[in-house]
Every structure is written in C-alpha cells, then in structure tokens.
C-alpha cells in the first residue's frame, strides 16, 4: 500500500487561483432531483474559464433495461467530448462541484480510468473557491479542440455478472449510499429497496468534512478500517456516481485496485435473479 500524494489528486483553491491560466477547469455541478439545476448554476456564475459538463449528457451513456440509471458513456465518445474542450491525455485538468465531490469525482474517476493522469479535484469545491476570494464569471469560454486520443475501455469496472462472480470469489462489496437506503428503509429513486447481499455500508458523505474538504489520508484510513484487509474491493452506490467519492477516499488512503460497479444498485435490482436472492 503506497499513499497517494494529495497534491496529485486534490488542489487547493489558492493554488488554482495562481494556476488558472495553466489548466482546463471543468464545472460538474448537478442535482439528481433537478437535472437542469447544474447548468443553470453554471450560467449564473462559475470559476473563470471553466467549461460545464452535464452528468447525464456528458458523463453518462444511454439508459437501457439494464446497466443502471447512469451507465458510463462509450470511452471513445467521452474522449471526443474532452477533446472538444481542448483536453488530451497530457492536459492538466481541475474539476469541481458544489456537493462534496459527488459529481466531480465521477469525472475524476472516468478520466483516470482512461489514463488521463493529470486530473485533480478542487478541494472544498466552489465554496472553497469563494472563501479564498475567488470571483465568478458568466461567460462561456472559447474551447480550442485537440486531436481525439485513441483510448481503450475504462479500467477497473465490473458488470453485474462479474460482480456475482466476485462475490463468490470472496470480494468485499462496499455500498456508498445513505444508511436508510442501504438498510432498505427507504428508496426514493430506484424501484426496489435494499442492498447487494454481503455489502458493507460506507456512506460517501464521510469522505469530507463539514466544509466539503477531503479528510486527511490518515483520517481516510481510519474511516476505511472497517473494511476487511486483503480482499478485493468492489464499490457501488445507486447508479455509479457517488461511489466514485469512496474510490477517491481509497486513493487518498493509499488503497489501490478497488473496482467500480458502474451499474450499481439500479442495475442490480433490474435483474429478477438478484431480486429472488433478496427475498
């Protein structure tokens, strides 16, 4: 286990202010209850030079019978979208949102899974930017497209069948949702309540403090100490979005190799054989 330097993963608002002309900034604000809210917030004011990426149009693919509510877009399509904004594999990128990494971490994970290595998250998000004296802009920046790089598929993902196999091979599943949803006490989004049998609950909100700043690597390790050692980790949530916040925590804590179940609970509960296992 080698600790990932926070400087390779996170950037402070003051540092971003000093480097604003050197990086491409991506605004990932979104609301699961109001899909247009993030774009409207961006239009009302964003970090100067930031481009906007929409969770459902840019960071997700078409929804089908299976695959979950926010399936990953085709890797080539995502690479082409980034190239439209002037981003290739060497371009330094900073992503932010206003909800404790909930949506920016999805972008961070997707880029890392396609070997875009110079991508960081703004620690504390938009609130930290404002607290550090950063101003907002309403202008949409001019994009300078670059050649689309050739990419493979996303590394570190599992589909439903692979998750079933991983469970049989003693992998530990990590459910990133709120405890009431994990416990099956409520389910505001998906048609079925509950969790994948054997999963441990590690709510994604615990990755950051009340100011939205990521906990220190040591604090992340203490939070993750409930996970059994020396077992493969498979992380999921409702639709593969906030699970990426727990993958961020694992990265900061120095745990490498955890995999994402992109379809997550919304995919799992779409299969009758899985529902029979719950009964």
- On whether the CB atoms of residues 226 and 250 are closer than 8 A, the answer is no
Nearest residue to 143 (alpha-carbon basis) of 96, 73, 83: 83
Whether residue 237 lies in the annotated active site:
yes
- On whether the CB atoms of residues 69 and 189 are closer than 8 A, the answer is yes
- On whether the CB atoms of residues 125 and 114 are closer than 8 A, the answer is no
Exposure of 103 in the CB half-sphere (CA atoms within 13 A): 24
Nearest residue to 176 (alpha-carbon basis) of 62, 261, 278, 90: 261
Identify the three-state secondary structure at position 210: coil
Task: Please tell me the distance from the alpha carbon of residue 29 to that of residue 46, in angstroms, as a whole number.
Answer: 10
Exposure of 171 in the CB half-sphere (CA atoms within 13 A): 23
Q: Which of 28, 237, 244, 269 is catalytic?
A: 237
Q: Catalytic residue numbers?
A: 237
């Amino acid at each position: 286990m080698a600790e990932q330097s926070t400087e390779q993963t996170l950037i402070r608002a003051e540092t971003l202010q000093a480097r604003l002309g050197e990086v491409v900034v991506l605004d990932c604000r979104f609301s699961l209850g109001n899909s247009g809210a993030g774009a409207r917030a961006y239009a009302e004011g964003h970090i100067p030079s930031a481009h906007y990426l929409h969770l459902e149009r840019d960071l997700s693919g078409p929804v089908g019978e299976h695959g979950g509510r926010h399936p990953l877009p085709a890797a080539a399509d995502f690479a082409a979208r980034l190239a439209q904004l002037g981003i290739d594999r060497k371009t330094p990128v900073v992503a932010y949102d206003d909800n404790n990494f909930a949506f920016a971490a999805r972008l961070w994970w997707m880029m890392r899974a396609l070997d875009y290595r110079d991508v960081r998250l703004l620690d504390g998000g938009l609130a930290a930017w404002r607290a550090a004296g950063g101003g907002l802009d309403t202008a949409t920046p001019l994009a300078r497209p670059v050649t689309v790089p050739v990419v493979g598929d996303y590394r570190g993902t599992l589909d439903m069948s692979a998750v079933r196999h991983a469970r049989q091979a003693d992998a530990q599943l990590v459910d990133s949702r709120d405890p009431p949803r994990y416990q099956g006490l409520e389910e505001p989004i998906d048609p079925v309540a509950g969790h994948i049998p054997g999963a441990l609950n590690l709510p994604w909100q615990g990755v950051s403090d009340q100011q939205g700043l990521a906990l220190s690597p040591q604090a992340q390790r203490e939070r993750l100490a409930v996970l059994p050692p020396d077992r493969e980790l498979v992380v999921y949530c409702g639709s593969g979005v906030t699970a990426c916040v727990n993958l961020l925590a694992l990265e900061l804590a120095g745990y490498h190799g955890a995999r994402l179940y992109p379809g997550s609970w919304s995919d799992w509960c779409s299969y009758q054989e899985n529902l029979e296992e719950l009964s």
